[in-house]
């Protein structure tokens, strides 16, 4: 059956029976349903969503929010209490660490076992084994029992199998977090390649930036319920605010209502740059914080103090921020994030990291901050998110404004191609005849 939907989750609920002892479990077996010797724990409540062909869907939530239960139901390792999951095509999953591996079998034997379960013939596995082994890169451990593997080695092997079985859907849980940085980047690159080839991906992570970079849509789970769904960038920014509120929906509503009343609209130059009409739609204003300080004015200027909406590569951006403080503060931090159109942090800095001594605040004061930052980044649209925080340690903000200002970087040499994000100054490339080593 041809469909644009590869996974459809329909009103899914899961209730676990929690027994205090093995005796109570035995009693329940012989009670014939007349009495309950267990407590009920509901891990999922009426969860509904779909995954489209070629789409990457991010799932975020704190520990215990129901993410792993949901993925195990989708993959088919546990059954739901209510609702159903409809799947079209082959699903490969990287779930909990070591899941699906027989600890007594060797890595080689587990490759053949897992790939066979996913529907590959022995001949197909034979033809792909070299690629699987090369990607896992665990050397002679491939012929050792999995029980002697480190956690990182198990993830390497599990991921290598999952991506080489031609999945229609790849399910990736947070197990990637245990790998080293080089392998994580290798996995992220492969996920991007699979996505570009039309593979649908369910991606679970606490890493907000990776959700922004990889996902088209995202959902947030808390207490087994979907509390937010939408475009990945919007949901990821909302989730950061949700985390800082202590996962308190009532507090979130209060913060958002307060932010709406205090929505800051910077005044732009009366003659905006000619490209302003093509401003990308992904730069969406979003504000949160406890409101004990507020950014009340902001502007971007050039070196002469004129308001601007674009900079040439290599110019110095100057950001002015006016902040009103409504209560006494012994310490505080001002900061900014420069982000690209997918919400990826390109430049992040704050007064703490720059070792700027901030004044103590008595309350009822207004300060103006000036931040100078050279813009050695590739041409394109960027946003500035400004923050006022209590300190460097706590994830608690007085005010955070996403997409406070939007600007464009242009190249004074339009024929030049810039491929990376950062374009450092002072690049020199020279050449000379090579001297033969045998001379």
Q: What is the pLDDT along the chain (439 residues), one digit of tens a residue?
A: 346 899 999 999 999 988 888 888 888 888 877 788 888 889 999 999 999 999 999 999 988 899 989 988 988 888 999 999 999 888 887 765 555 688 889 999 999 998 888 788 899 999 999 999 998 888 899 999 988 988 888 888 888 888 888 889 988 876 666 566 777 778 888 888 888 888 999 998 888 888 888 899 999 999 999 999 999 988 998 998 888 888 888 877 777 776 666 666 654 443 334 444 445 556 778 888 888 999 999 999 988 888 998 999 989 999 999 999 999 999 999 999 999 887 888 999 999 999 999 999 998 999 999 999 999 999 999 999 999 999 988 778 999 998 889 999 999 887 888 888 888 888 889 888 988 766 5
Could you tell me the CA-to-CA distances from 347 to 147, 299, 337, 407, 416 in Å, in that order? 43, 18, 6, 14, 23
Helices 181-196 and 151-163: crossing angle in degrees, nearest 10, is 10
Strand 333-339 to 380-389 pairing: antiparallel
Question: In the chain, what are the domains?
Answer: 5-240 (3.40.50.300), 263-269+281-410 (2.70.50.60)
């929690």: which residue's tokens? Answer: 18
What pLDDT, on the 0 to 100 scale, is given for residue 97? 53
- For residue 237, the model assigns a pLDDT of 87
Q: What is residue 275's predicted lDDT score, i.e. its pLDDT?
A: 41
Eight-state DSSP code of residue 282 = T
Q: pTM for the full model?
A: 0.76
pLDDT of residue 178: 59
State the pLDDT at residue 376.
92
Res 276: pLDDT: 41
Report the DSSP beta bridge partners of residue 8: 50, 86
pLDDT at 272: 38
Whole-angstrom distance, CA of residue 134 vs CA of residue 115: 16
Residue 269 confidence (pLDDT): 43
Residues linked to residue 83 through DSSP beta bridges, in sequence order = none
Burial of 23 (C-beta count, 10 Å sphere; 0-12/13-18/19+): exposed
Confidence (pLDDT) at 266: 59
C-alpha closest to that of 238 among 261, 254, 219: 219
| pLDDT value for 277 | 43
Residue 319, exposed/middle/buried by CB under 10 A (0-12, 13-18, 19+)? buried
Between CA 423 and CA 420 the distance in angstroms is 7
User: What is the pLDDT, as a whole number, of residue 353?
Assistant: 92
Between CA 320 and CA 332 the distance in angstroms is 17
Residue 143 CB contacts under 8 Å (≥ 6 apart), including other chains: 106, 107, 108
Contact 335, 389 (CB under 8 A): yes
Spell out a b/e string for 94-124, using b for 16 or more CB atoms within 10 Å of the CB, else e.
bbebbbbbeeeebbbbbbbbbbeebebeeee
Half-sphere exposure of 312 (CA within 13 A, CB side): 7
In angstroms, the CA 174 to CA 252 distance is 26
The CA distances from residue 334 to 27, 254, 414, in Å, are: 61, 23, 35
């Amino acid at each position: 059956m041809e469909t644009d939907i590869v996974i459809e989750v329909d009103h899914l609920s899961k209730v676990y029976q929690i027994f205090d002892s093995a005796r109570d479990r035995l009693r329940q077996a012989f009670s014939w349903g007349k009495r309950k010797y267990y407590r009920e724990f509901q891990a999922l409540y009426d969860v509904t969503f779909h995954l489209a062909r070629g789409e990457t869907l991010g799932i975020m939530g704190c520990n215990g929010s129901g993410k792993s239960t949901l993925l195990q139901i989708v993959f088919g390792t546990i059954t739901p209490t209510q609702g159903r999951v409809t799947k079209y095509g082959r699903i490969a999953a990287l779930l909990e660490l070591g899941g699906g591996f027989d600890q007594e079998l060797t890595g080689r034997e587990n490759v053949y076992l897992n790939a066979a379960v996913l529907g590959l013939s022995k001949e197909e596995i034979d033809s792909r084994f070299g690629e699987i082994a090369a990607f896992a890169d665990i050397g002679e451990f491939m012929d050792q029992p999995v029980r002697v593997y480190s956690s990182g080695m198990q993830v390497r092997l599990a991921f290598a199998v999952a991506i080489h079985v031609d999945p229609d859907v790849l399910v990736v849980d947070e197990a990637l977090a245990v790998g080293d940085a080089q392998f994580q980047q290798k996995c992220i690159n492969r996920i991007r390649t699979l996505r570009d080839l039309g593979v649908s991906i369910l991606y679970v992570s606490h890493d907000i930036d990776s959700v922004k970079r990889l996902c088209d849509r995202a959902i947030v789970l808390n207490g087994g319920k979907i509390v937010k769904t939408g475009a990945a960038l919007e949901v990821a920014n909302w989730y950061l605010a949700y985390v800082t509120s202590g996962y308190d929906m009532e507090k979130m509503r209060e913060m958002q209502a307060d932010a709406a009343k205090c929505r800051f609209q910077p005044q732009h130059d009366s003659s905006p740059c000619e490209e302003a009409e093509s401003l990308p739609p992904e730069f969406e204003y979003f504000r949160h914080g406890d409101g004990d300080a507020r950014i009340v004015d902001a502007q971007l200027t050039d070196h002469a103090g004129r308001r601007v909406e674009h900079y040439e590569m290599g110019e110095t951006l100057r950001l002015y921020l006016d902040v009103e403080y409504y209560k006494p503060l012994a310490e505080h931090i001002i900061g900014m994030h420069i982000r690209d159109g997918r919400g990826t942090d390109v430049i992040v800095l704050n007064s703490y990291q720059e070792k700027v001594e901030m004044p103590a605040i008595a309350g009822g004061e207004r300060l103006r901050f000036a931040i100078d930052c050279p813009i050695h980044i590739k041409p394109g649209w960027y946003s500035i998110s400004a923050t006022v925080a209590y300190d460097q340690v706590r994830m608690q903000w007085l005010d955070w404004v996403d997409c406070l200002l939007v600007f464009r970087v242009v190249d004074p040499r339009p024929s030049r191609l810039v491929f990376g994000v950062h374009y450092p100054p002072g690049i020199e490339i020279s050449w000379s005849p090579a001297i033969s080593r045998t001379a």
